[in-house]
Amino acid sequence: MDIQASKIELAKMILDLEDSKLIEKVRKLITKEKKDFYDELSEDEKLEVRYGIEQLDRGEKISWEDFKIRRRSR
């Protein structure tokens, strides 16, 4: 079954539901799946991500191989 057929089948199943609790669970599942992981980060984690992006924008980066070498030497 292709993706479009699967979506139609799922929509039909949802339309046939009568249980409001189950409908709410489906709604929450779909809504949860659409969230950006960034929204789930703590403020400290978001600051670290922004700092990392700023470093990259300034050209401050190293290769993966250099990173591994530096980590091993600690």
For residues 29 and 46, membership in a common domain is answered with no
Task: State how many domains the chain has.
Answer: 2
Task: Estimate to the nearest angstrom the gap between the alpha carbon of 12 and the chain centroid.
Answer: 27
For residues 22 and 55, membership in a common domain is answered with no
Structure confidence by residue, pLDDT tens digits, 2-56? 899 999 999 999 999 999 999 999 998 888 766 778 888 999 999 999 999 999 9
For residues 48 and 68, membership in a common domain is answered with yes
Q: What is the pTM of this model?
A: 0.44
Look at the block and give the residue holding tokens 């401050």.
60
For residues 23 and 44, membership in a common domain is answered with no
Asked if 53 contacts 38 with a C-beta cutoff of 8 angstroms, the reply is no
For residues 42 and 74, membership in a common domain is answered with yes
CA distances 54 to 8, 22, 57, 66, Å, are 44, 44, 5, 20
Buried b / exposed e along 9-32 (16+ C-beta atoms within 10 A):
eeeeeeeeeeeeeeeeeeeeeeee
